[in-house]
Structure 1
Amino acid sequence: MVKKKLTYKELTEKLDDIIENLESGELSVEESMEKYEEGVKITKELLAILNKAEEKVKIMRDQDEMEF
């Protein structure tokens, strides 16, 4: 089964939920570590999305400058 790629908004919401869970203090050490690792993975995904968007903006800006 193909895993659906989450949007930036969905990823940030998921990260917010993880942060709330971690800050609640109700998780065991093991659960906290799992949530932390998941949060790091999501953060990397978010940074990749932002970097890709930044590259697209640079390309569009460079193309506009070449037209003038």
Structure 2
Amino acid sequence: MNNNDLTFEEALARLEVLVNRLEEGNLPLEESLELFAEGIKLTKQCSKHLEQAEKQISILLEGDNGQAVVREEEL
């Protein structure tokens, strides 16, 4: 599976695995650099997922009468 096809949760889980492996500190430099590069890509993908989710979230606004009014943000 291509990392671009991962859900947010899958990308985050993979990122956690990479961080744990890098924190162990016993990897060759080449492998560390590859894992770091993959981690950067996953971080960007997670950020993209979060930005998309933010666009879909309902925004709560306080109405004139003090009641909460729900408004969908336009995509």
Q: Shared topology, TM-score over 0.5? A: yes
Which deviates further from its counterpart, 4-13 or 19-28? 4-13
Cα 1:15–1:65 change in 2 (3 A) is closer
Q: Does 1:61 align with 2:39?
A: no
Residue number in structure 2 paired with 1:39 = 39
Deviation at 1:16, TM superposition (A): 0.4
The structure with more strand, counted as a fraction of residues: 2
User: How far did 1:5 drift?
Assistant: 1.5
> Structure 2 length normalisation: TM-score?
0.71
Percent same amino acid at aligned positions? 32
Query: Match of 2:24?
Result: 24
Aligned to 1:9: 9
TM-score, reference length from structure 1: 0.78
